[in-house]
């Protein structure tokens, strides 16, 4: 006999897998902020606000791509569809080094945003898979919800979100940027091109593996026996959402957009992610303007990623344990970042270590 808890216990390394996968997924996204230090603007002749648009156009592409995705995910196996988007994202990252103009960069970043819904894959897998232990940020796209109801038990979302929203990608990106920064000037490719080639290659390797290895639901998992499949599906009955439902229900959509809480969450996310986008795009450039070298600036991005990762785990744990105080936990997290921003702005330039 295999108990329901036994099915959960038969997932050694899954949390680590989710964390590493989500981290890898975001490295390409945050790389724009560091490649600006290594000649991207000069090589592509970016002027004025073009570097800002290169950062903003990615989420714009995500918004455009979300609408067809809502329907496509109903027509194709969700895991395969997500991994196909992942492959598209990785391919675009590998194509960025061949850009010669700003229009080419903007086009690829827009396309990357359209394929960026694959990020939701990282928080969805709750199926035992022994080989996933060997493998190395989630947007709330419709694919997230569709696959979520198939594999994740209600009440376990907090731990998944802490893995997906952890910002360890800034740590890896900072380290890779520091390594690339030591590339000799005599190299055939620019430093920023090397960075995208490295991150894109790793993402492509993982996406191909994920396409083959990740099942669409517990029922299609080839690496568990029939009894384990039964318990994996049975423990999802508590969700009362079913496993597979390919019918679009307009009544539910209208109910969602009519709920004031939906719009409160929407505007909250807009407000939170507005400064977050600026930090990703201009964080390295801002640090470099504090009279440090490009290589040092890359390293100084790493503490931000470390603190963001730790905060994701801490506040997600608090939110999971304090169910009736989640808004208070969210407010506390925002107050800490606001206080830090005020201190960075207020502290004088002569006290660089404090800033």
Between CA 97 and CA 107, with CA 102 as vertex, the angle to 5 degrees is 75
Write phi, then psi, for 179 (nearest 5 degrees).
-65, -45
Question: pLDDT tens for residues 148-180?
Answer: 444 455 555 666 666 666 667 778 888 888 889
Helix (H, G, I), strand (E, B) or coil at 129: coil
109: nearest Cα among 168, 53, 38: 53
The pLDDT of residue 217 is 66
Helix residue spans in the chain (DSSP H): 4-9, 14-35, 40-43, 50-75, 78-95, 102-114, 142-151, 157-164, 169-180, 191-213, 226-234, 250-258, 260-288, 294-300, 302-321, 326-346
- CATH superfamily ID and name for 4-321: MFS general substrate transporter like domains (1.20.1250.20)
Helix (H, G, I), strand (E, B) or coil at 223: coil
Greatest CA separation for the chain: 67
The pLDDT of residue 131 is 32
Indicate the burial class of 223 (C-beta count within 10 angstroms; 0-12, 13-18, 19 or more): middle
The pLDDT of residue 34 is 82
The pLDDT of residue 18 is 60
pTM of the shown model:
0.76
The pLDDT of residue 6 is 45
CA dihedral of residues 215, 216, 221, 226 (deg, nearest 10) = 170
Contact present, 181 and 295 (Cβ < 8 Å): yes
192: nearest Cα among 9, 38, 335, 349: 38
The pLDDT of residue 124 is 42
- The DSSP 8-state label assigned to residue 76 in this structure reads S
pLDDT tens-place values along the chain, 355 residues long:
444 444 444 444 455 566 666 677 778 777 887 888 888 888 888 887 888 888 888 888 888 887 787 777 777 887 788 778 888 888 988 999 998 888 899 998 888 876 655 444 444 444 333 333 222 333 434 444 444 444 455 555 666 666 666 667 778 888 888 889 888 888 888 899 999 999 889 888 888 887 887 776 666 666 666 776 666 666 666 655 555 666 777 888 899 889 998 899 889 888 887 777 777 777 777 777 776 777 888 888 788 778 888 888 888 888 878 778 888 888 898 898 888 888 877 876 666 666 6
> What distance in Å separates the CA atoms of residue 226 and residue 91, rounded to the nearest whole number?
37
Indicate the burial class of 338 (C-beta count within 10 angstroms; 0-12, 13-18, 19 or more): exposed
The pLDDT of residue 333 is 86
């Amino acid at each position: 006999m295999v108990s329901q808890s036994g099915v959960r216990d038969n997932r050694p390394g899954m949390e680590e897998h989710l964390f590493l996968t989500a981290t890898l997924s975001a490295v390409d996204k945050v790389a724009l902020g560091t490649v600006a230090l290594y000649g991207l603007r000069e090589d592509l002749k970016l002027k004025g606000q073009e570097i800002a648009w290169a950062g903003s156009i990615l989420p714009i592409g995500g918004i455009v791509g979300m609408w067809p995705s809502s329907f496509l995910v109903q027509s194709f196996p969700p895991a395969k569809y997500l991994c196909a988007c992942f492959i598209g994202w990785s391919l675009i990252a590998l194509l960025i080094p061949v850009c010669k103009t700003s229009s080419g960069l903007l086009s690829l970043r827009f396309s990357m945003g359209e394929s960026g819904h694959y990020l939701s894959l990282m928080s969805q897998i709750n199926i035992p898979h022994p080989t996933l232990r060997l493998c190395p940020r989630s947007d709330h796209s419709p694919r997230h919800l569709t696959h979520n109801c198939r594999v994740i038990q209600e009440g376990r979302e907090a731990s998944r979100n802490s893995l997906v929203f952890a910002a360890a990608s800034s740590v890896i990106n900072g380290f890779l940027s520091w390594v690339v920064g030591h590339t000799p000037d005599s190299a055939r490719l620019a430093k920023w091109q090397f960075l995208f080639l490295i991150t894109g290659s790793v993402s492509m390797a993982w996406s191909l593996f994920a396409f083959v290895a990740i099942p669409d639901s517990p029922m299609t998992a080839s690496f568990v026996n029939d009894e384990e499949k039964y318990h994996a599906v049975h423990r999802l009955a508590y969700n009362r959402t079913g496993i597979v439902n390919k019918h679009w229900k307009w009544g539910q959509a209208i109910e969602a957009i009519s709920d004031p809480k939906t719009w409160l969450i929407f505007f909250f996310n807009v407000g939170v992610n507005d400064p977050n986008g600026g930090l990703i795009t201009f964080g390295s450039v801002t640090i470099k303007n504090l009279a440090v070298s490009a290589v040092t600036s890359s390293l100084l991005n790493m503490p931000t990623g470390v603190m963001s990762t730790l905060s994701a785990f801490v506040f997600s744990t608090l939110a999971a344990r304090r169910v009736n105080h989640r808004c208070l936990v969210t407010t506390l997290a925002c107050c800490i970042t606001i206080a830090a921003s005020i201190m960075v702005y207020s502290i004088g330039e002569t006290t660089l270590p404090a800033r």
